[in-house]
């Protein structure tokens, strides 16, 4: 039978590193911070899923045979995307390596062939959430509901998330101490983000805009003034009695806020999520022919491939030959 997952999850395990006498204290510290906490958490979840599968099928999870890995990912392929399977393999590979297993079962040719075959059968294209464009944001603000506090919070979340091209974890993780208001607008310090694994910090600039109803800086200032929040988490949830909690909002709540208002607009909430704000900013900027480097500066993408995908997406709609045909008299 498979052992308990916690007994054999070695990634980020301080005890394993501490007992390695060949490493200096400085070397240990560099390994401690080599992976972001959210990566470790995701890998831990993947390892637990594998162990649960092994327990159900009366297979040994640690150490596992290559055949067990192959059978697991083929069962997983019934409901998971190819990229999810690839991540599971990465998690298992890294964990077996961290455990010091010499013949890592995930590195056997039979496993690599199985992964390759699944990718060919399922394809690797990911269907992300649909973008929320600038005009969508404008319309969403007409559907703000709840009391004054909730409306102020939701408006600030939507506008800051959109103009800042922010991920949901970045929105939820904002603290008042990360905000620097000045006469031109707002500078936000992201102390930890997906593309800043070494916590060097990234700065997002959001200027004041002429239309006060669509200005993210004013919306955020209004939320802070109305809520009385002066330190700690910027965006917070509410109690059943409509009082503001001391703890920060969850990243899942960010997604629910987006889904709620696109639903009120008459669109399908299943097609949208928190990433729709970030995706929508990039696409909206591309539709206005903003230069690639300027989009990347705001979205903080390191790879041009993703940004060019948004630009191509916009160009296909703006410079579509159908429009030229339709304009002919």
The predicted-structure confidence for 243-278, as pLDDT tens digits, reads as follows 999 999 998 899 999 999 999 999 999 899 999 999
Question: CA 68 to CA 95: how far, in whole Å?
Answer: 16
Sign of CA dihedral 255, 259, 262, 268: positive
Per-residue pLDDT at 80 exceeds 80: no
pTM of the model: 0.62
- On the question of a common fold for 5-122 and 134-318, the answer reads no
Residues, the chain, total? 329
Mean pLDDT for 82-96 is: 84
Sorted by where each begins, the domain ranges of the chain are 5-122, 134-318
- Cβ(128)–Cβ(84) below 8 Å: no
Sign of CA dihedral 131, 313, 135, 216: positive
- Cβ(86)–Cβ(45) below 8 Å: no
Name the residue among 307, 312, 258 with its Cα closest to residue 282.
307
Q: What is the fold of 5-122? A: DNA polymerase; domain 1 (1.10.150)
Higher pLDDT, 327 or 45: 45
Residue 32's pLDDT band (boundaries 50, 70, 90)?
A: very low
Q: Which residues are catalytic?
A: 167, 194, 275, 278, 301, 310
CATH architecture of 134-318: Orthogonal Bundle (1.10)
């Amino acid at each position: 039978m498979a052992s308990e997952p916690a007994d054999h999850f070695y990634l980020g395990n301080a005890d394993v590193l501490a007992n390695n006498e060949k490493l200096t204290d400085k070397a240990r510290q560099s390994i401690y911070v080599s992976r972001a906490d959210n990566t470790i958490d995701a890998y831990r979840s993947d390892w637990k899923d594998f162990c649960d599968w092994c327990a159900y099928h009366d297979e040994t999870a640690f150490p596992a045979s290559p055949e067990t890995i192959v059978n697991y990912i083929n069962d997983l392929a019934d409901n998971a995307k190819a990229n999810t399977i690839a991540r599971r393999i990465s998690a298992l590979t890294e964990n077996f390596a961290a455990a010091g297993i010499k013949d890592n079962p995930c590195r056997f040719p039979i496993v690599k062939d199985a992964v390759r075959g699944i990718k060919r059968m399922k394809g690797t294209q990911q269907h992300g959430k649909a973008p929320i464009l600038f005009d969508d944001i404008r319309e969403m603000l007409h559907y703000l509901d709840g009391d004054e506090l909730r409306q102020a919070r939701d408006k600030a979340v939507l506008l800051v998330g959109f103009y800042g091209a922010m991920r949901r974890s970045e929105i939820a993780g904002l603290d008042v101490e990360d905000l620097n208001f000045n006469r031109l607008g707002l500078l936000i310090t992201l102390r930890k983000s997906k593309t800043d694994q070494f916590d060097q910090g990234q700065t997002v600039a959001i200027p004041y805009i002429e239309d006060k109803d669509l200005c993210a800086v004013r919306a955020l200032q209004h939320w802070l003034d109305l809520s009385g929040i002066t330190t700690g988490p910027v965006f917070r949830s509410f109690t059943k009695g409509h009082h503001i909690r001391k703890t920060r909002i969850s990243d899942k709540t960010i997604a629910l806020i987006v889904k709620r208002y696109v639903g009120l607009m008459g669109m399908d909430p299943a097609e949208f999520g928190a990433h729709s704000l970030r995706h929508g900013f990039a696409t909206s900027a591309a539709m206005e022919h903003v230069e690639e480097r300027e989009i990347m500066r705001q979205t903080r993408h390191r790879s041009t491939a993703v940004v060019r995908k948004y630009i191509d997406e916009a160009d296909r709609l703006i410079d579509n030959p159908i429009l030229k045909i339709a304009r002919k008299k």
